[in-house]
Amino acid sequence: MKPDDFEIMNDVQYDIAWCPGCGNYQIRSALMLALAELDLKPQETVIVSGIGQAAKTPHYIRTNVFNGLHGRALPAAMAIKAANPELTVIAESGDGCMYGEGGNHLMHTMLRNPDISVFVHNNMVYGLTKGQASPTSQRGFETLVQTADRQGVTSEPFNPLALGVAMNASFVARAFIGDTEQTKEIMKKAIQHKGFSLVDIFQPCVTYNKINTFRWFKNNTYYLDGAYDSTDRLAAFEKAIEHDKYPLGVLYRGLPRATFEENSGIYDVDKRPLFQRALDKKKLKELIQTKVSGL
């Protein structure tokens, strides 16, 4: 496949509603490249999102799309994968959507280990709603709500990678979209990984975050070197809490384990995806009646 096979503008023409210079453009490009290089077909790929600037990404890529409520991408992504394991399922949203409103879903999805990839556009701000602090905003970050006279944001920033390692998420990585090539490579590894994968992607919001700019991310990140052992969980935790400079690359890979789809029992006997099976209405009715009468 070629990246152009994922170009939605070949089918429909509309404006992309992101500011000029927004990091989301490169994330879109990196993802289209990753999908093409993995030879995935648009019709076999689903991108699921919530609400926000980042969550618009699937609208601008030619694949299947499910756009859920704010913070609710992951239950939908998990259900889609369970109903049709043949699909490649990617959930994509912002730091506010995945780590704030959707934080509880993130935690439990990590534990359940569905074979999906989660790409979080982390610009350390709520972009869509015009610049409020997000869970990953840094201490001292000033907004119209977290004002200068109150020293801006006063709480500790949410650490998605430390959470991932603590929850034994099966793949935990960080990328910086100033480097499209490396981001694409990390995305490919995440998609190919069997089980849940989280990639936190540093992405500047040029309009509402004048602190964490392209230059800031470049000066405050470094790549893990070839000697780093991503299967060492304690080393991964140490890397996850580094903040003098933030490490980029695959921080952690857990031991191979069963996915949510495998554990659910749906495919123990019948290997066909759920959507190919005829619905047994009588059985369903009986099941509902048992549940209702048990209330």
Q: Which residues bind ligand SF4 (CB under 6 A)?
A: 18-19, 22, 24, 53, 123, 127, 205-208
Contacts of 185 (CB under 8 A, 6+ apart): none
| Binder of residue 206, out of ligand SF4, ligand TPP, Mg ion, none (CB less than 5 to 8 A by kind) | ligand SF4
- Residues 17-76 binding ligand TPP (CB under 6 A) are 51-54, 70
User: Any contact of residue 126 with ligand TPP (CB under 6 A)?
Assistant: yes
Residue in 94, 178, 204, 249 binding Mg ion, rule: CB under 5 A: 94
Q: Give the CA angle between residues 262, 265, 268 to the nearest 5°.
A: 85
For the chain, give the number of residues: 295
CA distance 270 to 194: 21
User: Any contact of residue 128 with ligand TPP (CB under 6 A)?
Assistant: yes
CB neighbourhood size of 17 (10 A): 12
Residue 51 or 82 with smaller CB distance to ligand TPP: 51
3-state DSSP assignment of residue 77: helix
Q: What is the CA radius of gyration of the chain?
A: 20
User: Any contact of residue 209 with ligand TPP (CB under 6 A)?
Assistant: no
| Binder of residue 193, out of ligand TPP, ligand SF4, Mg ion, none (CB less than 5 to 8 A by kind) | none
Stretch that binds Mg ion, among 62-70, 87-95, 164-172, 192-200 (CB under 5 A): 87-95
3-state DSSP assignment of residue 250: strand
CA distance 126 to 119: 16
Contact set with ligand TPP (CB under 6 A)? 51-54, 70, 93-97, 101, 121, 123, 125-129, 134
